[in-house]
Amino acid sequence: MRVAFWADMLYYRIAGGTTRYAARLSVELSRLSNINLRLFSLYSREVIARLAQERQCPAAENIPSHLPRQLHYLLWLTGWAGRSAGMMDDADVVHVPWIAVPPHGRAPLVVTVLDLIFLLFPDYHNRRTRWTARMGLSRASRQAAAFISISHNTADDLMRLTGIPKHKIYVTPLAAEDYFRPVPYSKIRKRYGLEGPFVLYVGTLEPRKNLITLVRAFAALDDPGLKLVIAGKKGWMYQDLFAIVEKLGLTSRVIFTGFVSDTDLPALYSAAQVFVYPSLYEGFGLPILEAMQCGTPVITTNVSSLPEVSGDAALLVAPDNVRELSAAMRRILAEPGLREELRGRGFKRSQCFSWRKTAELTADVYRQVCRQ
C-alpha cells in the first residue's frame, strides 16, 4: 500500500507532542512490510536533512514552493494547491498527522486529531492558532475519509463538538519510548542542582497544564526539605505561574529547568519521588506513561483522557482541588508501601502500549478507507 505522509511537524524547531507522534509513527510504519511510506514537507531540503538525522526519523521529500512555508500552508487552508497539486496522486491513501488538508488528489484522506484544545479552551491559544486549527478541521471534516484519535476521550469530543460520525473515527493510543526506564540519576541531580527529594512535573508551561494549582498544593505540604521541579519550555501565558511562586516565597524550592532533552528525561523521572501531571485537559497524556516506565509513582487528574491512560496505576484528583492534590502527594511521600504498589502497577500499565501496536492500528485504518 502506497501511503503519502504529511511530515512538516517532524521538522518543527522545537519538538513537541505533535513532532514526537509523527516521528515515532512514521518510523514504525516504515517497518511494516505492507506499507510503502513516502513523506512530504514544505520545509527546505537542508532543514529536512539536518533534523531527520538529529531526530533519527525518515527524511521527507521537499515540496517545491516559491512562497514562505507558513504562507503556503495558509493558502492551502483556503483551497489553493499551487505547485504541490498532483504530487500525491499516485498514493493509495494520504495521512495528515494533524488537522490540516494538503492537496491530496484522488487518494482518500486520513487525518489525526491529537486534541481539541482550540475548541474546548480557546482562550489558551492566540487568534492565529485558533483560526488555522478551525479552518483545518472544517476542511478535514468535509474531505477526510477517516479520522484517527489518540484516545477514546478525544474521539468522543470529536463526535460531540463537530458532529463527525462515529464510524469515521478510529482510536490508536500512543506509547512511551523504550528508553524511558529506570536509570542511574546521580549525574542528573548534579546537573540540575537537585539535592534531596523532589516532586516532578514535565511539560510545557501554559495555563492548561494547571501548574498554579500544583504550586499551591506543593506549598501546602510545608516541607522545607522538599523541592518541586518543573521541567519544560515556556509556552504562553506563564507569567502568573512565576508570580505565584514568588508570592508564596518558594523561589528557592521550585526549580524551573527549562527544556529537558530526551537524553536527560529518563534519569529525571527516575530520581523523582512522585510525578504530578495536574492538567485540565489532554488528548492523551504521554508523560504519564514515561514516568510509569521509569518506575515513578504518578498523580494525575480525573478529567479528559488521563484516567483512560493511567488506568488503576495512578492516584487521581480533581484538577481544581488544591487540598486533594496536596493530600495525594503527602500520601505517596509518606507511605513507602503505596509508592511500591504504584511503581508495580505503573510498570504493568505501561506495557499495555507500544508504538508497533499504534502503527499496526494505523495501517488498519488505511486498509479500511481503501476498501470504501
**CATH number, domain at 266?**
3.40.50.2000
Domain residues for the domain of 250 are 186-350
Which residues, in sequence order, are bridge partners of residue 300?
277, 316
Q: Is 228 a residue whose pLDDT tops 70?
A: yes
Mean pLDDT for 364-368 is: 97
Mean pLDDT for 303-310 is: 98
Q: Are residues 93 and 211 in the same domain?
A: no
Q: Is 357 a residue whose pLDDT tops 80?
A: yes
Q: Is 85 within the bounds of a domain?
A: yes
Lowest-confidence range among 7-11, 103-107, 242-246, 307-311?
A: 103-107
Compute the Cα dihedral for 36, 42, 47, 51 and give only its sign: negative
End-to-end CA distance of the chain: 15
Lowest-confidence range among 16-20, 24-28, 83-87, 172-176?
A: 83-87
* The pLDDT of residue 161: 95
d(CA 114, CA 353): 17
d(CA 198, CA 191): 15
Identify the H or E element spanning 348.
helix 336-350
Q: Is 119 within the bounds of a domain?
A: yes
Q: Are residues 147 and 16 in the same domain?
A: yes
Q: Are residues 358 and 326 in the same domain?
A: no
Q: Is 53 within the bounds of a domain?
A: yes
Mean pLDDT for 193-214 is: 95
- State the pLDDT confidence band at 87, using cuts at 50, 70 and 90: low
* The pLDDT of residue 71: 77
Q: Are residues 80 and 199 in the same domain?
A: no
Give percent above pLDDT 90 in the chain.
68
Q: Are residues 44 and 83 in the same domain?
A: yes
- State the pLDDT confidence band at 289, using cuts at 50, 70 and 90: very high
Q: Among residues 290, 359, 262, 368, which one has the least CA distance to residue 26?
A: 359
* The pLDDT of residue 149: 97
Q: Are residues 38 and 64 in the same domain?
A: yes
Q: What's the predicted TM-score (pTM) here?
A: 0.92
Domain count, the chain: 2
Q: Are residues 291 and 331 in the same domain?
A: yes
Whole-angstrom Cα Rg for the chain: 21
Q: Is 71 within the bounds of a domain?
A: yes
d(CA 102, CA 95): 10
**Which cell is 297 given?**
509513582
Q: Are residues 41 and 168 in the same domain?
A: yes
Average pLDDT of the residues of the chain: 91
Q: Are residues 148 and 53 in the same domain?
A: yes
How many other CB atoms sit within 10 Å of the CB of residue 2?
Answer: 15
Q: Are residues 7 and 136 in the same domain?
A: yes
* Distance set, CA 85 to CA 18, 82, 100, 186, 263 (Å): 25, 6, 15, 54, 40
- State the pLDDT confidence band at 14, using cuts at 50, 70 and 90: low
Q: Is 49 a residue whose pLDDT tops 70?
A: yes
Q: Are residues 252 and 235 in the same domain?
A: yes
Angle (CA) 363 303 273, round 5°? 95
Q: Are residues 26 and 170 in the same domain?
A: yes
Q: Among residues 165, 174, 170, which one has the least CA distance to residue 152?
A: 170
Angle (CA) 60 65 70, round 5°? 85
Q: Is 180 within the bounds of a domain?
A: no
Q: Is 181 within the bounds of a domain?
A: no
Mean pLDDT for 222-232 is: 95
